Structure 1
Amino acid sequence: LNVATGKELWNSENYQNLLPKDVTEDSEVETVKYISELDAFMIAQKDGLNMLNAKTGEKIWETKLFKGSVGKYIYDKASNQIVMVNFKPTALAALFSGFKNQLVKINAANGEILWDATFRGTVEKELVTRKPIVDLNIVGDKLFMWMDGIQCFNIGNGQKIWDVTYENDISKSSSGILGAGKKRTSYYHGIADPIYTDNAVYIVIMGNADRSKYVEKHDLQSGKLLWASEKITGAFVMPNIYKTGNRVMVQVGGKVEVQELRWEEASSGASMAMGALMGGGGSAKQWVPYIFYDYKAQKNGILSLDDATGKTVWRSEKFDKRITDMIIDNDKTVFVGDGDEFYSYNIESGNQLFDVKHNDAKVGRATDVIDFGDDVV
């Protein structure tokens, strides 16, 4: 359908043999995925994969060599090729249908499979959104898969080059879904995404029971550990790191995304009907989804690490109550607030350039900051 007018552009009854989506909640798969770079749809069937022109419905190609769900993809415009993550919809379905965890590189023009490779681990999904917790990045001639650590592949032939295993999800490191009974809670985006440069990758590692976090620098070509920073104890989240010049800026503390399922009364049409059938009036209890951002009580601060050694050059721990996200200006200045005051530091030296008290502007506590060009909101 044309979203603006509601006019039907095309329809087809040729795709009946779709992957099942109703086995269990955890088995939810995407049977249709939109590839924005190509203005095309990928349709996953039990026996293969199809690509269709989004405007006309014309089949561009099909392949029987790809079985499973397109959980994540990355498009390489220069070569007109797609690398896709195929993962098993359920363990039982995979056992009987031949699904397997694989990375597949496909020629976007004709659907030719250029290579496939098996990856380590299991693709998990977020509690409410059901988004796959996996990411892909292409740096030079290498493909990086971020899931249960980092796996590095040769983009040309799919051969795995190196592999570093670590927990990159807070809820997973805390033994899965938190809470029981009438509420399930998971936290996301509390660990910084990896930073890739021409010769290195920087990652945040979670420690043991002391909730410590630290940064590691690995050689991009071999995966060799080059250095590890000091351990920051009491750090529940370390959501942002930033590489600039000979410094690596680290944000300790900050907001996290919270996804919850709460067992409570809901007044949707379906629940009202269910409540009437059960004699409970116009509502019935069900799992109700919530998504919001929150600040966790923990040690907050910012650190500047020496890129050559990983040693701490300077730090600021003025953020006893909370800390906003960092804003970097021209790779020279970092701006960050604690809710009551907003600070500016020179990244190289750590010298404080200024601070702004929110009371001077007669406003309350700040909960977020926005990079607004030459200004900060």
Structure 2
Amino acid sequence: MTAATKLLDEMCHLTAQSLPAMETSEHFNVLKLLGEGSYGKVMLAVHKKRGTPMALKFFPRESTSLLSFLREYNLSLSFCTHPSLTRAMGIAYSTPSHYIFAQQASLFGDLFDVIMPEVGMEEDCCQRVVSQLCGALSHLHSLGFVHRDLKPENVFLCDSACRWVKLGDFGMVKAKGARVPEVWYSSPYCTPEAEIARDNEDSWSSINDGVKNDAELKKKSRVWVSVEPSTDSWALGVLTYAMLTGSHPWDETASDCRAYLKYQEWFESAGGPDDELDVWVEPQEGGAEDDSDVIGGDLRKKDRLPVAPQFACFTPLAHSFFLSLLDPRPRLRGRPEDGLSYLGGEWLMERERVRLDEERKKSRGKGAIGNMKEKEGRGER
């Protein structure tokens, strides 16, 4: 446990003794709903005396423990000092039905709103977002915290061009090394190591499978694992793919998902990111040089499987980026800050860039990835 995680616990105990009770309408003009989920809801409000716009996050008392509320509030207030992390504003209180705290309001929606289905977003815009998220996640990791819920809905926009984004929603944050029950859920953001819990009592598929009865579920034992930053790295890789393409690389990270298996075969054939860009030297036109040695005379292009189909639209530089963050082996998975070294170059092949430009011209405006909303939740709040 780091000094920051110890301090967070102390702050929660102190805040619990001084949390005031008051009515929202006495101090705020509530304007509209900004978002809602399993945690509760977020409302855009203006402070009546200060005139300051802010987002009020409401947590139902019947489904939220005081400690979990105070952990999220104090984490956001005191440790989210990076410019790309959403910060609380020092206002926390309770009503008979809710716990509430105020945080910075992002008035341009979230990343989900600007990713066009099957098209994605501009590559330079994507790289700006990736750069900021790398910094935000690295900051949390340096303090000993893991976000554990990186997805488009939790990346908030401070302007329409994504020049400034903020990672928010810290309800899933845990200290690095904390022991938690592993939970598998059907999503590309779920890490491959979580599949060991696919059929246990905590998994979403087990909870919602009408075939299994209560007796069968009770037989499944929990799988306890250590919280690691590599979880955020995986999610960052999947999110980047979604930003560039407007889709996901696979429906779920599972051993029976064909798209994921294709990626896994390619990853193993490529030898992982340790080979760096040399692995992805593009074939030369014509002649015997097409099968020339690539690395030290040991490996040849013809010995490798073709690039996984869903990654064929990317350049060698992007391949290396994805292979680093989407390493199926959590201990060898790249860190978010490692992704910074892949920024600046082109990530999309020219033919794909042209195709996407044409698609954007046909359908200008904002869109959303239809299958990206994760309605299932994770049951940990």
Give the TM-score of the pair, scaled to structure 1.
0.25
Q: Which has the higher strand share?
A: 1
Give the TM-score of the pair, scaled to structure 2.
0.25
Work out which structure has the larger RCO, using CA pairs closer than 8 Å and 6 or more positions apart in sequence: 2
Q: Which has the higher helix share?
A: 2
Bigger radius of gyration among the two? 1
